[in-house]
Amino acid sequence: MTFIDLKRIIKSGFQNFTRNSFVSLSSILIMVVTLSVAGLLLLSRAVLTTTVETLENKVDITVFFDLGANENVILDLKQEVDAIPEVASSEYVSATEALINFRERHQDDELTLQALDELGGNPLGAMLNIKAKNPEDYGIIAETLGDQGALSQSSLQVINKINYYQNEQVINRLVAITTGAQTLGTVLLIILGTISVVITLNTIRLTIYSARQEIGVMRLVGAGTKYVRGPFIIEGVLYGLVSSVVTMVLFFPITLWLGEKMSMFLGINLHTYYLSNFFQFFIILLIVGIILGTVSSAIAVRRYLNH
Between the alpha carbon of residue 16 and those of residues 12, 199, 230, 240, the distances in Å are 6, 18, 11, 15
Q: Which of 83, 307, 285 is nearest to 215 (CA)?
A: 307
What the chain holds in terms of domains, given with CATH numbers, is: 3-55+174-306 (no CATH), 67-157 (3.30.70.3040)
User: Average pLDDT, whole number, for the chain?
Assistant: 76
* DSSP, residue by residue, 152-203: -HHHHTTEEEETHHHHHHHHHHHHHHHHHHHHHHHHHHHHHHHHHHHHHHHH
Residue pLDDT, tens place only, 149-199: 555 565 666 777 777 766 667 667 766 776 777 677 677 767 766 776 677
* 52: Cβ contacts below 8 Å, ≥ 6 apart: 174, 177, 178
Q: What integer pLDDT is reported at residue 249 of this predicted model?
A: 92
The rounded distance, in Å, linking the Cα atoms of 190 and 288 is 11
Average pLDDT over every residue of 189-217 = 68
Average pLDDT over every residue of 122-132 = 84
Residue 106 pLDDT > 60 = yes
Prediction pTM value = 0.60
Would you state the torsion angle of the CA atoms of residues 187, 188, 192, 193, taken in this order, to the nearest 10 degrees?
Answer: -50
Q: What integer pLDDT is reported at residue 98 of this predicted model?
A: 83
Q: What integer pLDDT is reported at residue 290 of this predicted model?
A: 86
Average pLDDT over every residue of 50-62 = 72
Residue 147 pLDDT > 80 = no
User: 116-125, 128-137, 178-187, 196-205 — which is least confidently predicted?
Assistant: 196-205
Q: What integer pLDDT is reported at residue 222 of this predicted model?
A: 65
Q: What integer pLDDT is reported at residue 245 of this predicted model?
A: 92
Give the helix, strand, coil percentages of the chain, each rounded to 5: 80, 5, 15
Residue 215 pLDDT > 80 = no
Residue 53 pLDDT > 60 = yes
